[in-house]
Amino acid sequence: MKERRAQSPKHHRIVFFGTPEFALPALQRLAKSGAFDIFVVTAPAKPVGKAQGIAPSPVKILAGKLGLTIFEPERLRDPEFFKKISSLKPDIFAVAAYGKIIPQELLDIVPYGSLNIHPSLLPKYRGPSPIEAAILAGEKETGVSIMQMDRDIDHGPVLAKEVVAIGEKETAPELSKRLAKIGATLLLTTLPRWIAGEVSPVPQDHERATYTKMLEREDGRLYWDNPADLLVCQIRAYAGWPESHFIWKRNDEVLRVKVEAARVIAGGERPYGTVWQAVEAPIAIETLDGALAVDKLRLQGKASRTAAEFINGYPDIIGARLL
């Protein structure tokens, strides 16, 4: 980043990097503000669903509706892409869940640097899955940080933060929507003050940093040698992706059953993974500590069912020992 200095008010040129739905409120607010000339960089369209149809990113769809110039580079280090972005003479980058690391040579072309909306209270939960990690850990609160980007992931100094309470039953997709809106507001209030030289970046305490990982499908598997309260947190955390599931060996079939909602009830002396019925739970599963009362579930590829509805179709799950 070049040396930053305050300038008189003008229409600044901003390049917005973003891809999923989390980025939409920020782009919408930037466009609505009328304070910026906006250019958009998003991930290329990719195959989705069983039919593997090609779908544009949510950010591309919104940017198209807003009439903005859109770039979809396969590689950010592509010399042609670098030339195109440089030729725009942008003042600042704004980043919201773009999905790729922006190389330093690109970050260096903007005089006001690059601001990123990160959905955690940095330095806690750096990396790609901070919302899921906070819920999985049973946190009561999280937040949003506006940080100045550098060559390392979520490492740069913080310009603004907002603490956000996590609802007792809130899932990751629900929390993500709230944090996206809060992050958009925080970005829009921080940007003009940053450009005017009124914000002092605060370095992160790197010794306190914690890290999250890219989630994979098998991270969603429920293991019954964990306590029930942890499994409930997992179900809430992975409600969007990878979705929590258990494996049921039913005769000669091995079924993957996704759990969409559950709660903790008192357990007994049964072996881990034993399915039983309680007065308050048509489907209860014994765990290390307590039992998991399953309220809503579905077989892979099937519609969601309540526990009572599932029992009507699969009564033999009662008494089963889940894998």
Residues comprising the chain, all counted: 323
Q: What is the pLDDT of residue 100?
A: 93
- Judged against a pLDDT cut of 70, whether residue 153 lies above it is answered with yes
Residue 301's pLDDT is what? 87
Q: How confident is the model at residue 10 (pLDDT cuts 50, 70, 90)?
A: low
Task: State the pairing for strand pair 53-55/69-71.
Answer: unpaired
Joined together, the tokens standing for residue 131 give: 């919302």
Ordered structural domains, the chain, with CATH: 12-208 (3.40.50.170), 217-317 (3.10.25.10)
3-state secondary structure of 313: helix
Question: pLDDT class for 3, splitting at 50, 70, 90?
Answer: very low
Neighbours of 2 (CB within 10 A): 10
pLDDT in tens, 43-92: 998 877 655 678 999 999 999 999 999 999 999 999 999 999 999 999 99
Whole-prediction pTM: 0.94
pLDDT over 90, % of the chain = 92
Q: Reply yes or no on whether the pLDDT at 167 is more than 50.
A: yes
pLDDT digits (tens, 9 = 90+) for 222-274: 999 999 999 999 999 999 999 999 999 999 999 999 999 999 999 999 999 99
